[in-house]
Amino acid sequence: MSTLTTNARQRRTVTPAQRVLRLARFETQMLVKQRTTLLTLLSGPLAILFLVSVTPGGSPEALAALIGMGVVVVMAVTSHLAAVMLTVNRREAQVLKRLRTSELSSGELVAGMYLPLVVVGVVEAFAVLAVVVGRGGPLPDALGWAPWLAGVAIASVGFVAAGAAIAGMAGNAEKANWAAVPLLFLIAAAANMLTVPVLPEAMRQVLLLVPFTSAVDLLARTSSAGVGLVELPVVAGVVSPVLVDLALLLAWTAVSVWLARRLWRWEPRG
């Protein structure tokens, strides 16, 4: 049997991280050229940023809640929808099938393809924060930055994974867009309702269980205003409400990743 070094041809070492970043760079260039996806990535956030900027906030607590709601809704309409479209487009155009024949592992391929969308989600979260802070809203406090950033990063990954899962269920781009709408509305509605002060506490706790909605409470709670939207127990003085929010967010992200893996298809649906 011959060996892998049969031919004395030029070889070089390419690390997994390099492959992921190079594919991500290529995908970013392609995203800029895809007008529909670009429109989704820009128009949604701009509209929501506009709404956030004109929504009466008032107290620091209300503005902190606005940050949480704004970030989650922006991610739902951008990272999530863009992930649905990107996945279906790449799969139906058989680009995934092609890239599988490259030296990318399956994990590297998925990471490189979605990395730009995850980064866009994080950048948009900062855009929402900047707009609200510009209106006098609170920044996260010294202890709040780490969970705030963790929440934003996990939510961004989670929304992209949810988009990939939905794309796995849909046969083409049109069906995928329709399939994405119910979750989008559910999350947007729950995130909005959570910021309504007069809502009964029991309903708030139920809303917190809606996918990714705990991020609204987490981002509000970690601001310097420091007030949560939902009454959560502090267990033995150790498990803080922030950890409960993070755990819920992680759980939905894990469910989304699991579903995305289970429903994943490398080739067009027959």
- Which residues sit at the interface with other proteins, rule CB under 8 A? 1-4, 6-7, 9-14, 18-19, 22-23, 26, 29-30, 33-34, 90, 93-95, 97-98, 100-105, 266
Nearer to other proteins, 6 or 54 (CB): 6
Nearer to other proteins, 97 or 135 (CB): 97
Nearer to other proteins, 104 or 131 (CB): 104
Please state the closest distance from residue 39 (CB atom) to other proteins, in A. Answer: 14
Please state the closest distance from residue 14 (CB atom) to other proteins, in A. Answer: 5
CA distance 97 to 77: 27
Q: In the numeric block, which tokens belong to residue 82?
A: 């863009």
Nearer to other proteins, 33 or 231 (CB): 33
Nearer to other proteins, 37 or 195 (CB): 37
Nearer to other proteins, 4 or 54 (CB): 4
Please state the closest distance from residue 220 (CB atom) to other proteins, in A. Answer: 39
Contact 164, 264 (CB under 8 A): yes
Q: In the numeric block, which tokens belong to residue 213?
A: 């909605």
Nearer to other proteins, 176 or 194 (CB): 176
φ/ψ of residue 223, rounded to 5: -80, 170
Centroid of chain to Cα 178: 19
CA-based nearest residue to 222, from 74, 65, 56: 65
Please state the closest distance from residue 3 (CB atom) to other proteins, in A. Answer: 5
3 state DSSP class of 178: helix
Q: What angle do CA 201, 182, 256 make, to 5 degrees?
A: 80
CA-based nearest residue to 84, from 211, 169, 190: 169
Please state the closest distance from residue 85 (CB atom) to other proteins, in A. Answer: 13
Environment class of residue 222 by beta-carbon count within 10 Å: exposed (0-12), middle (13-18) or buried (19+)? buried
Residues in the chain: 270
CA-based nearest residue to 157, from 231, 70, 202, 215: 215
CA distance 118 to 237: 33
Please state the closest distance from residue 117 (CB atom) to other proteins, in A. Answer: 15
Please state the closest distance from residue 269 (CB atom) to other proteins, in A. Answer: 14
